């Protein structure tokens, strides 16, 4: 009930077709997780008055990826020539400040620093809540102002945020219960590869006594089933998601899902936020191991 049913599961096909023709916000938001199914979809009314069916206009047979079996992370590079970069993530190497690296990584023996970026987060934004088959994703709707991050005078616009459990990054080999990724893209289509994408990482740990009220809003309604979107949207002020201690770890990494694109400006908050255990369980009932293993250590 009360769901939009998305018929196509050919998310990767959409990603690839989108990357070939990338322009406009609707295509940008597909770049990180290779699954934003609704973006090139048409919407039409279904017989159920509370339900909307979306269907894709483009269908190609492109293999999907997963976190299990023969489509799990160590095999991603074999699934498509477009995923070749993912192979580098199979070799655990030391992360250097000078070179880009596959993500996620273990962070060890380095100190978090004052952010070298500015966030434009303090506003109410409406989000659709989608289950794209790999994670739960929050996609900003068109009618609200856009959140953004400014790094070295380059502005990247928020495309979506989504969750992994447990966390993808670790600190001294310790993982958080969850990690939220805020995915940003430079709207300038002529931007070079060093200035196209940025991702902000936020650790979340189970904490019934210090649960983040803003994050709890995501769990107001039942999380959508795979390939569906909740009919009810939510309104969040992203500023309220962030920890009071804003120190971050910064490095040059990659998307953690195919096609594992590199030269991503990563910033990860050193301080986690809390979420009540019942809400965390709601997510883990949908996805309890949608994380890529760490690919190196940053020291």
Q: What is the binding site for Zn ion (CB under 5 A)?
A: 181
Q: How far is the CB of 163 from Zn ion (least distance, A)?
A: 8
Q: Quick one: 101 or 181, whose CB is closer to Zn ion?
A: 181
Q: How far is the CB of 185 from Zn ion (least distance, A)?
A: 14
Q: Quick one: 3 or 103, whose CB is closer to Zn ion?
A: 103
Q: Quick one: 181 or 276, whose CB is closer to Zn ion?
A: 181
Q: Quick one: 3 or 295, whose CB is closer to Zn ion?
A: 295
**Which H, E and C letters describe 244-264, residue by residue?**
CCCCEEEEEEECCCCCCCEEE
Q: How far is the CB of 48 from Zn ion (least distance, A)?
A: 32
Cβ atoms within 10 A of the Cβ of 207, count?
16
Q: How far is the CB of 22 from Zn ion (least distance, A)?
A: 19
Q: Quick one: 80 or 135, whose CB is closer to Zn ion?
A: 135
- From residue 93, alpha-carbon distances to 103, 201, 251 in Å are 11, 21, 14
Q: Quick one: 3 or 128, whose CB is closer to Zn ion?
A: 128
Q: How far is the CB of 162 from Zn ion (least distance, A)?
A: 6
Q: How far is the CB of 93 from Zn ion (least distance, A)?
A: 21
């Amino acid at each position: 009930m009360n769901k939009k049913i998305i018929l196509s599961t050919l998310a990767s096909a959409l990603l690839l077709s989108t990357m070939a023709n990338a322009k406009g916000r609707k295509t940008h938001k597909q770049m990180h997780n290779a699954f934003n199914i609704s973006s090139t979809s048409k919407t039409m009314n279904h017989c159920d008055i509370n339900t909307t069916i979306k269907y894709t206009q483009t269908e190609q047979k492109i293999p999907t990826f997963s976190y299990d079996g023969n489509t799990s992370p160590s095999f991603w590079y074999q699934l498509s020539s477009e995923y070749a970069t993912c192979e580098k993530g199979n070799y655990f190497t030391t992360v250097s400040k000078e070179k880009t690296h596959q993500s996620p990584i273990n962070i060890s023996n380095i100190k978090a620093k004052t952010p070298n970026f500015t966030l434009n987060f303090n506003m109410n934004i409406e989000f659709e809540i989608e289950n794209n088959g790999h994670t739960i994703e929050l996609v900003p709707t068109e009618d609200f102002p856009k959140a953004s991050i400014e790094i070295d005078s380059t502005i990247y616009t928020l495309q979506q945020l989504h969750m992994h459990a447990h966390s993808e990054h670790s600190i001294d080999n310790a993982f958080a219960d969850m990690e939220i990724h805020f995915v940003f893209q430079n709207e300038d289509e002529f931007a070079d590869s060093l200035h196209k994408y940025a991702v902000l990482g936020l650790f979340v740990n189970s904490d019934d006594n210090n649960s983040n009220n803003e994050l709890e809003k995501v769990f107001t309604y039942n999380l959508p089933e795979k390939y569906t979107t909740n009919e009810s949207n939510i309104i969040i002020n992203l500023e309220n998601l962030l920890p009071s201690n804003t120190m971050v770890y910064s490095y040059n990494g990659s998307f953690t899902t195919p096609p594992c694109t590199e030269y991503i400006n990563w910033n990860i908050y050193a301080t986690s936020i809390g979420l009540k255990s019942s809400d965390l369980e709601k997510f883990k009932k949908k996805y309890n191991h949608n994380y890529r293993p760490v690919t190196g250590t940053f020291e």
